[in-house]
Structure 1
Amino acid sequence: MSTFELFTPEYDILLAARNVAAQPDRPAEVYRDSLLALTEHYQRLVRESHRLISRSDRAERELTRLNHQLHQLADELAYKATHDPLTDVYNRGAIIDIISTVLTQRQASLIVLDIDHFKRVNDNFGHPTGDAVICDLITRVRHALGGVGSIGRVGGEEFTILLDNVALQQAVLYAQRIHADLNRSNLAALPAYPVTASFGVSWAPATTGFDTLYNAADAALYEAKQQGRNRVMFR
């Protein structure tokens, strides 16, 4: 309904009332009838205005709700684009971006850990159990870190831990803490089968590239595996 169609009756009644008011010698009932008609249409106008305002309020609430849902969906998509669906840690692309960004501003240490003989776990117990082992291990890692660091999954059973603005010595202590926790008791997913990991730790000053930091930690990890696995090495 257009604005003109909505208010045409009111315009007509208003003009008629003005015409009556301009005639001083009309009978009283004429003025009364004109006033009643004007009042009736004024009430209608109030009702229509209230209806339009209510509709506008409902539309605004609906837009607010849809906008909230849109923001939620955007957050969910952003999270899924940057996180590993199994472990809820950062995925490879996201953790590389984070490490690279940190290195443009500050020193950083990196822990690279790889589950020892993980293929045997999958072969002997099945991939679902292997997934459960990975999740249990990440739970242990988070507990040992105590909220410090950013964890990323860079391969099937390989993870990185970025320690922002942390020196090498402290980073090695964190890696040793995780290592000791894994050796203290078996994971819940395989209570009768020990699961261990090898660790490589590196450090780099600000303005160092990601590859430099990662390759050093990866070389230390390789050394840990060469020396028998289930140990922490650093460079």
Structure 2
Amino acid sequence: MDSPGVAASPDLFEAENQALLTARAAHAGCACSAPSQCRQALGDLLLAYERLLRETRRLVRRSDRAELEMNQLNARLQDLAAELEHRATHDTLTGVLNRAAVIDLVNRHFAHDDLSLIVLDIDHFKRINDSFGHPMGDKVILGVVACLQAVVPATAHIGRVGGEEFTVVLPRQSGPASERLAQGLRRAIESYEFDLPDGSGVTASFGVSWALPGGDFDNAYGLADEALYVAKRGGRNRVCLAACSLPSLEHEV
């Protein structure tokens, strides 16, 4: 019996039920007037029709369950596909893009846009791992990513391209504007509370490059990486813009 207030589902076999009721009434009414063979044949037909109707109902219920299970399975497969795609393109620890995804993203943007690339490296990261252990090193990496995410614009893409090395991809943003952004990132990391056991802070060094459409990741990264090492040799915790990363004013953001 249906619960109060719940509409009953429409009966797919209403017409068949009506035909069955009519046949039953005819079978009952012909008890005296119809020959016994005719009445027996009608009775056998009624039984066969009832069995067929019960079997059809059972098959419909099984089909409905199978369809529901298939829909649930398809939804799960879609979720798994999305999860696998995410794992293939994102760093496991931080959730930002991995190196392969950064390379693909940069090369796709270069097909139609100018692009700036910020490369940063955590200063003295080996000392942190050696002194306090890898769990603390992971905590520092996550803290650096939090600083990047808090500062970069919505159009930027963050990637982890090495153990303690990160990139920020900035489509259609000039070298000088990206250099100013990198300074903001540097200050955010410098002032962040990493809670190292010895109370020391964490800093990072930055290299910035800019290139016109038609460039590629290798060249853009190479220029930014060279600028990064200039910053490292200059005392760390600083930003260096690659010398050839000076676009015309129309690209200034």
Task: Tell me how far apart the structure 1 counterparts of residues 130 and 204 of structure 2 sit (CA, whole Å).
Answer: 18
2:122 to 81, 97, 115: 115
Structure 1 window deviating more from structure 2 (184-193 vs 85-94): it is 184-193
Equivalent position of 2:6 in the other structure = none
Amino acid at match of 1:71: Q
Are the aligned partners of 1:110 and 1:163 in contact in 2 as well (CA < 8 Å)? yes
Q: Once the two structures are aligned, what percentage of the paired residues are identical?
A: 46
How far has the Cα of 1:113 moved from its partner?
0.3
Task: Tell me how far apart the structure 2 counterparts of residues 71 and 186 of structure 1 sit (CA, whole Å).
Answer: 40
Which sections of structure 2, spanning at least 5 residues, go unmatched? 1-31, 243-253
User: Secondary structure of the equivalent of 1:84?
Assistant: coil
Are the aligned partners of 1:110 and 1:214 in contact in 2 as well (CA < 8 Å)? yes
Counterparts of 1:9-28 in structure 2, within 5 Å, are: 28=34
User: Secondary structure of the equivalent of 2:113?
Assistant: coil
The answer on 1:176 being equivalent to 2:196 is no
Change (3 A) 1:190 1:153: farther
Are the aligned partners of 1:186 and 1:192 in contact in 2 as well (CA < 8 Å)? no
Change (3 A) 1:139 1:185: closer
2:78 to 53, 56, 71: 71
Task: Tell me how far apart the structure 2 counterparts of residues 60 and 177 of structure 1 sit (CA, whole Å).
Answer: 55
Are the aligned partners of 1:136 and 1:189 in contact in 2 as well (CA < 8 Å)? no
Change (3 A) 1:167 1:146: closer
How far has the Cα of 1:228 moved from its partner?
0.5
How far has the Cα of 1:77 moved from its partner?
1.6
Equivalent position of 2:39 in the other structure = 32
Counterparts of 1:41-120 in structure 2, within 5 Å, are: 41-120=48-127
Structure 1 window deviating more from structure 2 (26-35 vs 133-142): it is 26-35
Change (3 A) 1:189 1:53: farther
Change (3 A) 1:64 1:189: farther
How far has the Cα of 1:189 moved from its partner?
5.3
Structure 1 window deviating more from structure 2 (70-79 vs 186-195): it is 186-195
Equivalent position of 1:8 in the other structure = none
Q: TM-score, normalised by structure 2?
A: 0.78
The answer on 1:138 being equivalent to 2:145 is yes
Structure 1 window deviating more from structure 2 (161-170 vs 114-123): it is 161-170
Are the aligned partners of 2:156 and 2:168 in contact in 1 as well (CA < 8 Å)? yes
User: Secondary structure of the equivalent of 2:206?
Assistant: strand
How far has the Cα of 1:52 moved from its partner?
0.8
User: Secondary structure of the equivalent of 1:28?
Assistant: coil
Task: Tell me how far apart the structure 2 counterparts of residues 168 and 91 of structure 1 sit (CA, whole Å).
Answer: 23
Superposed CA RMSD: 2.0
More helix by share: 1
Which sections of structure 1, spanning at least 5 residues, go unmatched? 1-25
How far has the Cα of 1:190 moved from its partner?
5.7
Are the aligned partners of 2:132 and 2:197 in contact in 1 as well (CA < 8 Å)? no
Task: Tell me how far apart the structure 1 counterparts of residues 239 and 213 of structure 2 sit (CA, whole Å).
Answer: 24
Change (3 A) 1:194 1:109: same
User: Secondary structure of the equivalent of 1:110?
Assistant: strand
Task: Tell me how far apart the structure 1 counterparts of residues 189 and 121 of structure 2 sit (CA, whole Å).
Answer: 12
